[in-house]
Structure 1
Amino acid sequence: MTENATQETAKGQRGLGFMGRVRKDPAFAAFWILRVGFVALPIWMGLDKFFDGLTIWPHYLAPIATDLLPMSAQSIMYVVGVVEVVAGIAVALKPRYAAYVVALWLAGIIVNLLLWSGWYDVALRDSGLLVAALALAQLARAYDAPVRQNR
């Protein structure tokens, strides 16, 4: 479906209400599933960087990161947590652009995991998330209006 066709479908369904559009338009439903997921997951993971409730996050950090940055692995994870929370909020506000930021962030995580042997399964999972973030960005072209510049 082309972007114009999707936008025409979206325009034709405006009077249906949210749930009506979800039932009628699978692409709209997919957009919202991905949007909610990429709001909730980064915020949840980002907050967990401060509590280590799910795992001990510094264990996932490649040693080269602490060699290059003037801070401990835990401090780096605190920064990562803040970035992830901000990314989740950005997807909530403007997925059309923020989904690309999330995809780039995931690419960085994948590189980190590949530098640190033993985490290949997690890198593969994050590759799937990267593809999903790119899918959200494409769907957002139809369902999230671009930022308009006032002139």
Structure 2
Amino acid sequence: MKTTALKERGRTETLAPETVRQAFLLLRTVFTVAPVLFGLDKFTNVLTDWTSYLAPVVTSVVPLPGQTIMYAVGVIEILAGLLVAFRPRIGSLVVAAWLFGIIVNLLILGNFYDVALRDFGLLVGALALNRLATAAKR
């Protein structure tokens, strides 16, 4: 059985290929399903009123109503999730960049710092998926 070696602080640990594959599939599934579901909800606002998370500067730069902007956001999120499903190496970077944009928006808004911190954790997870997808050449 082939293993993957990890070096950390002078010691080497090994991961079974099955463990690596499971981590990859778990992250790929989450970063496919979550953006698609959140993207779809931008059209229904079942989970929340998404426009309340939109910094006013966005509507001043983009001369559209907040809900219209959220429709565009929803489409982008759905496409990003599908990209993760079919091209995880590229899709994971798109999702990471998108999460970075969301974090910046929330920080500009000056509210929802807890959501920004959560999204930072998701950004790190998307980058981890990218590393696994790159190693697996997917």
TM range (shorter): 0.7 to 0.9
Deviations 1:72-127 (A, max 9, x none): 11000000000000000000000011100110000000000000122100000000
Give the whole-Å Cα distance in 2 for the aligned partners of 1:127 and 1:101. Answer: 14
Unaligned runs of 5+ in 2: 4-15
| Separation in 2, partners of 1:47, 1:9 | 41
Partner of 2:44, secondary structure, is coil
- 1:61 has 2:47 as partner: no
**1:98/1:24 CA distance change after superposition, 3 Å:** closer
CA shift at 1:24, angstroms? 5.5
Q: TM-score normalized by structure 2?
A: 0.87
| Alignment correspondent of 1:46 | 39
Q: Does 1:28 align with 2:21?
A: yes
Give the aligned length.
126
Quick one: higher RCO (CA 8 Å, sep 6+), 1 or 2?
1
Q: Looking at secondary structure, tell me which structure has more helix per residue.
A: 1
Output the CA distance in 2 between the equivalents of 1:122 and 1:100.
20
Query: Which residue of 2 is the match for residue 141 of structure 1?
Result: 134
Once superposed, what is the RMSD of the aligned Cα atoms? 1.7
Q: Which runs of 4+ in 1 moved over 4 A?
A: none
Show CA shifts across 1:7-27 (max 9, x none): x949xxxxxxxxxxxx86211
Q: Equivalent residue for 1:95? A: 88
Contact 2:2 2:17 in 1 (8 A): no
Give unpaired runs (5+ residues) of structure 1. 1-7, 11-22, 146-151
Structure that is richer in strand per residue: 2
Query: Which amino acid is the alignment partner of residue 77 of structure 1?
Result: M
TM-score norm. by structure 1 comes to 0.80
